[in-house]
Structure 1
């Protein structure tokens, strides 16, 4: 989120794994190992007894107690070694790989069979697919393979689903390290690369690229940039540096300067927008101007105008999610190629002046449908988080899903790529629908939004990048 999310909505440390990571216990075992040990013990001598030695009724399953997650574990070499990169057509691509999605049974799932769950919430793949996956041991409950989808889910059931994962490609431009002084790491982030693993992205993220190619890990987040935004990205190397930078953020002593290219002729005089911003959806990060939102303030100054579009300097004085993008939309000058705030889903005025004419729910549905119809990565990649995916978040008809091979239980959905001749051999999977598809590479329009973090400045430091080519006065957008 461009200048936003400054230690307000996410943990302060990059080394906090997501729910899909393999957590380690204090004894050094992985969480999965601990569950395996309990399962083996149960099979050896506790088949008829539950937790605390309680006898199980006929046909009753033993469910191990939930394990505490050790959130002090970083991504490590084991994670980095899951797959490799390859480069093609100016893009960084990830060889498809096997990956385990893990989750505890949700409250709304209790009492439902796996078959009912797949039919009601995970409908993009056919039931036949899940039956075949179960037969091959890819679906497990409490680390025990499930060969019968009629099994009824109970509280604390631990589910694991092994999928053949395909990640969307990102630009092949290397990550340029601007500063690494032992306390602070500053990177010039290219557009299209997420900072952290999210949705369909894992290895094609700043965190994994730094870990795999530079051997850099154990970083602390200072701020984040949207996937499509480029520019200055700060990490703290030590806890002390993290606390210092975090205090600067809270005290608003961290000055931020962005540049962007917007549609139309932006006014020559300085504009200040102070409209409050409300988060409509935390899951996919959609915001809008709303009186019930949080106070915001952004200063805008035009740099140049080429007859069609304008380059604007942006000085956000607060750090709200998507602040620059939402304020420019409100002013009627959406960022060029902004797939969200320049979308027609906001209505005929595209949100100018706060005029939308839709409820939050209607707006979200319209945005998702527009991205889906265009097979766009911008929102759809956020709607896939493996086994923890509800039907209410994806209303795609079964017929359409079967045509494009999408899978809500599998990260090989949407705009991810099928196995190509350029990828190393042996990466195909006979159950993976995405492996049967060959999708065109994304275009620059899908990978780049014209917003760049140009400079971050504190009381005793300043980190900056070069001005992007698209910010030059004579720049012309390619057809």
Structure 2
């Protein structure tokens, strides 16, 4: 299969008249310095159908076309696994991940990952693409995972994440009856060390900010909507435990629960600005059956 090409176009407005091509690509298409270096090397930028240098000036009404080509091959094996695709276009794809599945291969999980399934999906649909996760979820956390289909889109979405324009919120069932209606947790997080993946709140850690809202009390537990301002590993789990309400079923930061065999955490909401069209994309997926059983017990 031929290497994929990703094409982007932009019609120059009056506000960009007599600006350099590189300036327009940066401010209007959000292209990073690394992407500009690739374009300079490949020479795949055109103005009105003719090759152009990044240092050249543009005029109002000019039509810039950029072609990005994949520079490496996919090294993951395809695996035919059903994917619950929430959104897909030529630039990105959002998948509703089931609990128990790793997002991308690691030392302990070389196959059976969401990335392996996505490679198979791309091959089946004739897309010669490299899988590019914009973020990850823990193996036992379910919900929305966003993937870019080219390095430019990946860079723009990563920048959105850093700026706060891309928002992620979770459904979380925490232990205990939470009294307040909402709250903000600003507590730095660091890795425990000694080979453990566990994290702990520590003044020596990285800044971590979490917002939460109480939705409803379910028996001895409380359902919350949790929004991440930062994106640290295990952030929701660590912060909920820090305020005395660990997630139901979280055996790392809380304790075993007979109600669910994993931490009761579901990435239900995502909202971001589409990196190419500029449209605001807002997505929601309901939690899987094991989480819903906490909301509607049968006995």
Structure 2 distance, partners of 1:444, 1:195, is: 25
The 3 A distance-change label for structure 1 pair 282 and 302 is farther
CA deviation after TM superposition for structure 1 residue 475, in Å:
2.3
The alignment covers a number of residue pairs equal to 217
| Structure 2 match to 1:208 | 116
Q: Is the 8 A contact 2:269 2:285 kept in 1?
A: yes
| Structure 1 match to 2:18 | none
Structure 2 distance, partners of 1:280, 1:250, is: 24
| Structure 1 match to 2:165 | 253
Structure 2 distance, partners of 1:477, 1:449, is: 20
Q: Output aligned runs, 1:179-258, within 5 Å.
A: 179-212=87-120, 215=123, 217-258=129-170
| Structure 2 match to 1:292 | 204
Of Structure 1 and Structure 2, the greater strand share is in 2
CA deviation after TM superposition for structure 1 residue 229, in Å:
0.4
Structure 2 distance, partners of 1:477, 1:338, is: 22
Structure 1 distance, partners of 2:131, 2:194, is: 24
CA deviation after TM superposition for structure 1 residue 458, in Å:
1.8
CA deviation after TM superposition for structure 1 residue 477, in Å:
8.3
Structure 2 distance, partners of 1:189, 1:196, is: 12
Q: Is the 8 A contact 1:276 1:291 kept in 2?
A: yes
Post-superposition CA distance 1:419-440 (Å, at most 9, x none): xxxxxxxxxxxxxxxxxxxxxx
Q: Output aligned runs, 1:1-400, within 5 Å.
A: 72-76=72-76, 79-80=77-78, 174-212=82-120, 215=123, 217-281=129-193, 284-343=196-255
Structure 2 distance, partners of 1:263, 1:207, is: 32
Structure 2 distance, partners of 1:259, 1:201, is: 26
Post-superposition CA distance 1:248-291 (Å, at most 9, x none): 11212111111111111122421211111112239542110111
Of Structure 1 and Structure 2, the greater helix share is in 1
1:285 alignment partner, SS class: strand
Larger Rg: 1
Contiguous gaps of at least 5 residues in structure 1: 1-70, 86-91, 93-173, 345-442
Post-superposition CA distance 1:401-447 (Å, at most 9, x none): xxxxxxxxxxxxxxxxxxxxxxxxxxxxxxxxxxxxxxxxxx9954x
Identify the match of residue 284 of structure 2 among 458, 464, 475.
464
Relative to the length of structure 2, the TM-score reads 0.65
CA deviation after TM superposition for structure 1 residue 471, in Å:
4.8
The 3 A distance-change label for structure 1 pair 444 and 335 is closer
1:325 alignment partner, SS class: helix
Post-superposition CA distance 1:280-339 (Å, at most 9, x none): 239542110111112221111111112121111101111111111101001111111112
1:210 alignment partner, SS class: helix
Structure 1 distance, partners of 2:74, 2:171, is: 33
Contiguous gaps of at least 5 residues in structure 2: 1-70, 274-279
Structure 1 distance, partners of 2:121, 2:137, is: 21
Which 4+ residue blocks in structure 1 deviate beyond 3 angstroms? Answer: 281-284, 443-446, 471-474
